[in-house]
Structure 1
Amino acid sequence: MAINLDRLAGFHHNALKVRADKMEVIAGNLANANTPGYKARDIDFQSAMNSAMQSSQTTQAGPSSMVRTNDKHIAGSSAPRFDVQFRMPDQPDTGDGNTVDVQVERNAFLENGMRYEASLMLLNGKFSGMKKALSSGGQ
């Protein structure tokens, strides 16, 4: 019987990638909390996951390559599978045009981190179960 690792871990693997990308966007927001004119950004997790799941079903197992518009550009391994959107501000404009609310960003960072950890634990559980099944299968 063939083992399909994409079927075993595909969703959680994609969730980890999207959560890591979301963490980078939130960290960028926090880093630019005092930058005049900076607009807070976010990733819609649901649409990013839908896009990641569709692309994993339609592409081969190998990484997709980025399109380089200049020979001096560094080659990348894959293009982002999500659209970064601007976050709607919850606070009034402070006069400098910055829409980052530090408390909202910290809460989003913590929530995303906990969800990342949960996905990691679920993925680890799946692999532990598969390892246990493989080791006891010959007995």
Structure 2
Amino acid sequence: MLGKLDDYLRFNETALSLRSQRQTVLASNIANADTPNYKARDFDFANALQGAMSRTGPQQALKTTAQRHFPNPQQAGDVLPDGTPLAYRGTVQGAVDGNTVDMDVERNQFADNALRYEAGITLINSQIKGLMAAIQGGQ
């Protein structure tokens, strides 16, 4: 039974998780707008979602229970923890200091991603309300 519920909510859960990770990447770009030689990063959401949906089963990180246990292996800087590759954003006009962050593009992408995240929350809420209505007999 729980497996079917997981499957029912999996798409929106995965999409929200990726939206959250993308918001973090975009926020990092904005925070480093004045950092010399910083290169703006992003990832292709559609490809990342498709890749995440094609993977079987949830991927959980190893948990350490004692101080002497080895920690999880470090992730490379060009890959998200779920394996999604990060790419450098193309530049329209480079800065003298080598920074490739275009604040107009970053703010636009940040706002768009936030709006889509909110839409995902609304979709999950409607899914849960539909499940609750089915459980309660449509009262």
Counterpart residue number, 2:110: 109
Give 1:49's aligned amino acid. L
- SS of alignment partner, residue 90 of structure 2: coil
| 1:1-139 map, 5 Å | 2=1, 4-55=4-55, 58-59=56-57, 61=58, 63-65=59-61, 74-75=71-72, 79-91=81-93, 93-136=94-137
Q: Distance between the aligned counterparts of 1:89 and 1:34, measured in 2?
A: 15
Counterpart residue number, 2:65: none
Q: Distance between the aligned counterparts of 1:132 and 1:64, measured in 2?
A: 32
- In the TM superposition, residue 40 of structure 1 has moved relative to its aligned partner by 0.3
- In the TM superposition, residue 75 of structure 1 has moved relative to its aligned partner by 3.9
Runs of 5+ in structure 1 lacking a partner?
Answer: none
Q: 1:51–1:81: 8 Å Cα contact kept in structure 2?
A: no
What's the % identity of the aligned pairs? 39
Runs of 5+ in structure 2 lacking a partner?
Answer: 63-67, 74-79
Deviations 1:6-54 (A, max 9, x none): 2321111100000000000000000000000000000110111011101
Residue correspondences, number: 129
Q: Distance between the aligned counterparts of 2:108 and 2:27, measured in 1?
A: 12
Q: Distance between the aligned counterparts of 1:79 and 1:95, measured in 2?
A: 32
Give the TM-score taking structure 1 as reference length: 0.82
Q: Cα RMSD between the aligned structures?
A: 2.6
Q: Distance between the aligned counterparts of 1:122 and 1:113, measured in 2?
A: 14
- SS of alignment partner, residue 42 of structure 2: strand
- In the TM superposition, residue 74 of structure 1 has moved relative to its aligned partner by 4.4
Deviations 1:76-109 (A, max 9, x none): 8x93231111000122x22110000011100000
Give the TM-score taking structure 2 as reference length: 0.82
